[in-house]
Chain A
Amino acid sequence: MTSTHTNSHTEAAKMEQVITEFFYKSLLIILESRSSYVSSRNYSGEQIVSSPSSSSSSSSSVRPRDKWFNLALRECPSALENLDLCRQSNFEPVVVDVILEQKPLDWGPASFSPTSDIVRNLSSKNKNSYFWNSDQDESGSEMKCEKIIERWFVHHESRKGRDFNSGNRRSSCNNLSALYKKLILMLRSLYVTVRLLPAYNIFRDLNSSGLIRSFKLVPRVSSFVEPLTRKEEVDMQRFWFTPVDTSCGRLCLSVLYYSSISDMSSESSTPMSPQFIPDYVGSPLADPLRRFPSLPVSHGSPSSLPFSRRHSWSYDHYKASPPLVSFSPSPTHSESNALVSNPSSRGLPPMSLPPHPPEAPLAHKRDTNFDEYCPSPSFSASPSPSPSPSVPIYIPRTHLSKALLRSESAPVNIAAPKLANSPALSGRQNLPPSPPLKITRAGTSRTDNIRVPAETDATIEKIFSFGKEDCWKYSGVKAFSNSSPRISCSRSSSRSLQDDFDYSEFPCPFDVEDGEMMDPGSRPESYVRRGNPSDPNEAGLFMNRKSPDAAVGALVRMLEKAPPLRQNVSLNFSEASRPEILSNSVPKQSQISEAVTVEHAAAPNIASFRLVASKTTTDALEELRGYKVMKNLLLSEGGKAYTSSNVASAAEHSSTSKDRSIL
């Protein structure tokens, strides 16, 4: 009796041990084929000839646990962690969920470290559940997408009322042997089955390839799990392993799996290969301001433009413009967006930086269209106060004045109004007053021989201030010789600024009208149209379209057509002609006042220039004579005051210019 009871107890214990080891072995088979880097796949072991019961085992590499069910597998830490679960006396069911996790692209190699990185977390729901993660996701578990692609069930159905101690010892032993054999067969089948299911392909790809994937397999072992949704159960297929009867019940093994999960894992998450981006915008730090030809020309200054990045290939017609637009706060993002090119977006207009720091994170779903990360090419010019609202676009006042100062010649001054008339300067109301005085002031040291009375507008002086060294700067002479309607400036730095202007639509203030050329008396009157000193458009360059003005204009054209003057000859010529003429035109206050029209900058009137066809030499000489007369008249005037406040300052300049008069 006692021996029977002992034997039964022994048999029961053995049975329990067999069942427990079966739980562990089945768990090991499942986990080692679903956990990355923990697989017997790479475990190339030697042939073990001996059986588990053989004491003369020649192989020393066989661990005791390997002998169970004659299946030597590689140690799986995850399975070891769950050994306690398997050794529960009540043989609670073990559920293994194989989860396909999709994570952001910011996964790094660290997440796939082969080192031991398996963490056991106790679920708040079930203390007996163990969640296995191959990586401690600290970046943001909220971003990962999980999907159960397999669910394994290992459980022992207890059969109540079954007498453990029934049968003799031999039958029990036979039962145990038979049970063990059947369990071996079942585990063999399990080992083959786990490799035939679709999830194994994912596991194999994860282990074999060195690519960084956006997904991974995470087996989760637990005792109790939430049931799958009905849709999931419908979509999944179930495979049953034939249960094996035990003395106290039967061992059951089954699996729910998706027959096709290739669409989840087929997408490669390999880092994007380098691509050639034909329309790369570039960093705004490199070239912050490049004007787009397609950009709408706002009335505001360049500073009114938003934080936008222009195309790098556009010509900047206003290279002299300062960087009035601040850089984009996130140039890197702009670059990254530029790199993220989409073939579909190549037909779109070039990108521009968003006006604000990008809000969309760089990490995105793997199936996100790249277009979402291509900022809209729309370009919004948010108005913002410019440093000099009245300055023409792209040309601040200081720059304009400096540009004109360099020229110090009539053509320069003539061209100044054209700045206002240029297409860029569409916002005439924003144009500041003509800065002729500034020009004049700056050029005081190089003033010509024009003696401008205090009341005279200094602009006039500057217009005709031909110093000895300044005559060479009249590149406009040549321009006029070509009958070009363009009134060019001197070859100074302002030339590039003024060359961009279209002079064709501006009539030459010195246009000679027929019949008016030989009226020297009227020339000083129409000598120059003076605008508001603060009006750069004026700059004293506008001429009344009167006979004297026309004469002067004709004279100027003649001079421009003339061959380059040598210093001795040209000076004489210039000294004799131009300054003489100018000086003649200056003295007389009345003449000047008649010739000069001061226009305030409130509403600048830009007179149009019209070039007159070249005249013969004879006509030119006649005009020259008349110009001399005019000059004399102007010189004789002297001392008359001008209505404009700028005249006073111009007089200061004129005083110095008188000293340097060519006369």
Chain B
Amino acid sequence: MNCEVCQLKELEVEHFEIREVLRCILHTIVFHRALGLVRPKDVDLELFEITYVQCGDVELEKKIDEKIDHFISWVEKHPNKKSQICLSFYEVKSKQPSWFTNKTERLYWEQWYINLNVTQHPKHHSSKSHHTKLVVDPGESATEERSSRRAMVEASLREVLFQIIKFVNEKKDHVPPISEGVIYFPYEITIPSSSDSAFGMDMIKRMLHSGHPTMLS
């Protein structure tokens, strides 16, 4: 089984938009990979005119929210940086235990990379002192700029969602068979760690667990 990798289009979002954007993307991907009996749940974004679908699993929703919170914390510590969130689907296979490996291994058969460029708008500084120093521009130009930017983000997000749909439609063979009693495939959300170098280490760790992607069947 090959590990299909999908690099999603980079989105330029603001800090307050991270939660909704990530929720939308992550739940959309998971819904496509929740092949068990689900009762879909439609969720309307508050910031954009987009409705995404959740598979209705409370636990899943909680886990995703936790990961998003971690990511937001990381973003706050590393402002104005391009970041990447990886959503991986794997299979758990047992293997013979050895000195260096665990009994079980994860076979990643699909990875989704969500690329975000979190920008911090001057007006959205959380610091109170900034409000006093900033020159308030309540004119219509600021509103129009904000709305146009919001429209751009919405369009980009819609593109990303269609990209997901196309990827799911084009590549179906690598998806493992449906297991009984399982709603969605095991997944893993990887966010950048606190140190930059740790991100690379996470990739190495993943490779150790899963082995070389090309070796996966």
A32 to chain B, nearest CB (A): 11
Which of A48, A53, A73, A186 neighbours the largest number of chain B CB atoms within 10 Å of its CB? A48
**Given the complex of chains A and B, what is the CA–CA distance between A186 and B165 in angstroms?**
9
Chain A residues with CB under 8 Å of B50's CB are 196
**Given the complex of chains A and B, what is the CA–CA distance between A49 and B39 in angstroms?**
10
Q: Which of B162-203 contact A (CB under 8 A)?
A: 162, 164-165, 168-170, 172, 175, 177-183
Contact between chains at B52 and A67 (CB < 8 Å) = no
What class of interface size applies to chain A in its complex with B?
A: 35 or more
Q: Mark A139-183, 1 if CB is under 8 A from B, else 0.
A: 000000000000000000000000000000000000001000110
Contact between chains at A192 and B178 (CB < 8 Å) = no
Q: Mark B14-54, 1 if CB is under 8 A from A, else 0.
A: 00000000000000100110011111111010000111110
Chain A residues with CB under 8 Å of B182's CB are 51
A193 at the interface (CB under 8 A from B): yes
- With contacts A51-B180, A185-B32, A188-B32 taken as known, whether A72 is within 8 angstroms of B44 at the C-beta atoms is no
Contact between chains at B37 and A72 (CB < 8 Å) = yes
- With contacts A54-B181, A185-B172 taken as known, whether A192 is within 8 angstroms of B32 at the C-beta atoms is yes
Contact between chains at B32 and A49 (CB < 8 Å) = no
A452 to chain B, nearest CB (A): 87
Chain A residues with CB under 8 Å of B134's CB are none
B70 at the interface (CB under 8 A from A): no
Which B residue's beta carbon lies closest to that of A203?
B51
Contact between chains at A189 and B169 (CB < 8 Å) = yes
B58 to chain A, nearest CB (A): 7
Q: Mark A194-235, 1 if CB is under 8 A from B, else 0.
A: 011000110010000000000000000000000000000000
- With contacts A188-B168, A192-B165 taken as known, whether A71 is within 8 angstroms of B180 at the C-beta atoms is no
Which of A66, A70, A186, A193 neighbours the largest number of chain B CB atoms within 10 Å of its CB? A70
Q: Which of A9-46 contact B (CB under 8 A)?
A: 40-41, 43-46
- With contacts A192-B53, A201-B49 taken as known, whether A242 is within 8 angstroms of B32 at the C-beta atoms is no
B79 at the interface (CB under 8 A from A): no
**Given the complex of chains A and B, what is the CA–CA distance between A54 and B36 in angstroms?**
11
- With contacts A47-B39, A196-B50 taken as known, whether A189 is within 8 angstroms of B168 at the C-beta atoms is yes
A62 at the interface (CB under 8 A from B): yes
**Given the complex of chains A and B, what is the CA–CA distance between A47 and B41 in angstroms?**
10
Q: Mark A394-423, 1 if CB is under 8 A from B, else 0.
A: 000000000000000000000000000000
- With contacts A48-B38, A200-B51 taken as known, whether A192 is within 8 angstroms of B28 at the C-beta atoms is yes
Contact between chains at B39 and A48 (CB < 8 Å) = yes
B158 at the interface (CB under 8 A from A): yes
A442 at the interface (CB under 8 A from B): no
Which A residue's beta carbon lies closest to that of B176?
A181
Q: Which of B40, B44, B172 contacts A71, CB < 8 Å?
A: B40
Which of B158, B170, B181 neighbours the largest number of chain A CB atoms within 10 Å of its CB? B181
Q: Mark A379-392, 1 if CB is under 8 A from B, else 0.
A: 00000000000000
Chain B residues with CB under 8 Å of A204's CB are 44, 51
B87 at the interface (CB under 8 A from A): no
Which A residue's beta carbon lies closest to that of B44?
A204
Which of B58, B165, B170 neighbours the largest number of chain A CB atoms within 10 Å of its CB? B165
A184 at the interface (CB under 8 A from B): yes
A358 at the interface (CB under 8 A from B): no
Chain B residues with CB under 8 Å of A643's CB are none
**Given the complex of chains A and B, what is the CA–CA distance between A124 and B165 in angstroms?**
38
Q: Mark A63-105, 1 if CB is under 8 A from B, else 0.
A: 0001100111100000000000000000000000000000000
A573 at the interface (CB under 8 A from B): no
What class of interface size applies to chain B in its complex with A?
A: 35 or more
**Given the complex of chains A and B, what is the CA–CA distance between A70 and B170 in angstroms?**
20
Chain B residues with CB under 8 Å of A201's CB are 49
A52 at the interface (CB under 8 A from B): yes
Chain A residues with CB under 8 Å of B57's CB are 47
**Given the complex of chains A and B, what is the CA–CA distance between A201 and B44 in angstroms?**
10
A191 at the interface (CB under 8 A from B): yes
Q: Which of A40, A177, A242 contacts B169, CB < 8 Å?
A: A242
Chain A residues with CB under 8 Å of B183's CB are 48-49
Contact between chains at A53 and B53 (CB < 8 Å) = no
Chain A residues with CB under 8 Å of B51's CB are 195-196, 200, 204
Contact between chains at B168 and A185 (CB < 8 Å) = yes
**Given the complex of chains A and B, what is the CA–CA distance between A177 and B176 in angstroms?**
11
A4 at the interface (CB under 8 A from B): no
Chain B residues with CB under 8 Å of A181's CB are 35, 172, 175, 177-178
Chain A residues with CB under 8 Å of B38's CB are 48, 70-72
Contact between chains at B42 and A195 (CB < 8 Å) = yes
- With contacts A54-B180, A189-B32 taken as known, whether A196 is within 8 angstroms of B158 at the C-beta atoms is yes
A645 at the interface (CB under 8 A from B): no
Chain A residues with CB under 8 Å of B41's CB are 44
Which of B28, B51, B164, B168 neighbours the largest number of chain A CB atoms within 10 Å of its CB? B51
A50 at the interface (CB under 8 A from B): yes
B137 to chain A, nearest CB (A): 28
Contact between chains at B169 and A241 (CB < 8 Å) = yes
**Given the complex of chains A and B, what is the CA–CA distance between A192 and B176 in angstroms?**
21
**Given the complex of chains A and B, what is the CA–CA distance between A233 and B178 in angstroms?**
39
Chain A residues with CB under 8 Å of B170's CB are 242
Which B residue's beta carbon lies closest to that of A74?
B39
**Given the complex of chains A and B, what is the CA–CA distance between A67 and B36 in angstroms?**
9
Contact between chains at B175 and A185 (CB < 8 Å) = yes
Chain B residues with CB under 8 Å of A192's CB are 28, 31-32, 52-53, 161, 164-165
- With contacts A196-B158, A204-B51 taken as known, whether A62 is within 8 angstroms of B37 at the C-beta atoms is yes
- With contacts A45-B56, A193-B165 taken as known, whether A188 is within 8 angstroms of B31 at the C-beta atoms is yes
**Given the complex of chains A and B, what is the CA–CA distance between A67 and B37 in angstroms?**
7
Chain A residues with CB under 8 Å of B56's CB are 45, 47
**Given the complex of chains A and B, what is the CA–CA distance between A70 and B49 in angstroms?**
28
**Given the complex of chains A and B, what is the CA–CA distance between A47 and B181 in angstroms?**
12
**Given the complex of chains A and B, what is the CA–CA distance between A276 and B180 in angstroms?**
67
Chain B residues with CB under 8 Å of A182's CB are 172
Q: Which of B39, B44, B164, B179 contacts A45, CB < 8 Å?
A: B39
Which B residue's beta carbon lies closest to that of A185?
B172
Q: Which of B37, B158, B169 contacts A70, CB < 8 Å?
A: B37
Q: Which of B50-88 contact A (CB under 8 A)?
A: 50-53, 56-58
Chain A residues with CB under 8 Å of B162's CB are 193, 196, 239
Chain A residues with CB under 8 Å of B172's CB are 181-182, 185, 242, 244
**Given the complex of chains A and B, what is the CA–CA distance between A113 and B41 in angstroms?**
24
Q: Which of B161, B169, B180 contacts A186, CB < 8 Å?
A: B169
- With contacts A47-B58, A51-B180, A54-B181 taken as known, whether A185 is within 8 angstroms of B37 at the C-beta atoms is no
**Given the complex of chains A and B, what is the CA–CA distance between A188 and B175 in angstroms?**
14
Q: Mark B94-132, 1 if CB is under 8 A from A, else 0.
A: 000000000000000000000000000000000000000
Contact between chains at B175 and A195 (CB < 8 Å) = no
* Extra inter-chain contacts (8) besides given A181-B172, A189-B165, CB under 8 Å: A47-B56, A47-B58, A66-B39, A67-B37, A70-B178, A71-B40, A192-B53, A196-B162
27 cross-chain CB contacts under 8 A: A43-B39, A48-B36, A48-B37, A51-B179, A51-B181, A54-B180, A67-B37, A70-B36, A70-B178, A71-B40, A185-B175, A188-B168, A189-B165, A189-B168, A191-B31, A191-B40, A193-B165, A195-B42, A195-B51, A196-B161, A196-B162, A200-B51, A201-B49, A204-B51, A241-B169, A242-B170, A244-B172
B binding-site residues for A, Cβ under 8 Å: 28, 31-32, 35-42, 44, 49-53, 56-58, 158, 161-162, 164-165, 168-170, 172, 175, 177-183
